[in-house]
Amino acid sequence: MDWDDYEAVGLALAETFPTANYVTISEADLVRLVLSLPGFTGTTQPDRRAVAAVSFAWIAAAEGPNDSSPYESDA
């Protein structure tokens, strides 16, 4: 799994860090969490496009089809 596998990475983040605030996480913290995922082999310095894609994929995976974010009122 690497940065181009953004849907798989987003799902892995949602499963591995279910209580993390995926809405307000900083880019640096997001990169750190992704790099800590088991089986992740991507570069330690991804481009901004890849980080943004992973961020959106994590939001989609965490909120699911019902868009029931626990952070909605904080956004």
pLDDT digits over 36-66, tens only? 999 999 989 999 999 999 999 999 999 887 6
> Residue 74 falls within a domain, yes or no?
no
pLDDT at 74 over 90: no
> Residue 14 falls within a domain, yes or no?
yes
Alpha carbon distances (Å) from 37 to 14, 33, 60, 72, 74: 11, 7, 18, 26, 27
**Predicted structure pTM score:** 0.83
Domain boundaries, position 25 = 6-66
> Residue 73 falls within a domain, yes or no?
no
- First-residue to last-residue Cα distance in the chain: 30
Output the pLDDT for position 70: 57
Structurally, how many domains does the chain consist of? Answer: 1
> Residue 61 falls within a domain, yes or no?
yes
Output the pLDDT for position 66: 67
Q: What CATH number is given to the structural domain containing 12? A: 1.10.10
> Residue 71 falls within a domain, yes or no?
no
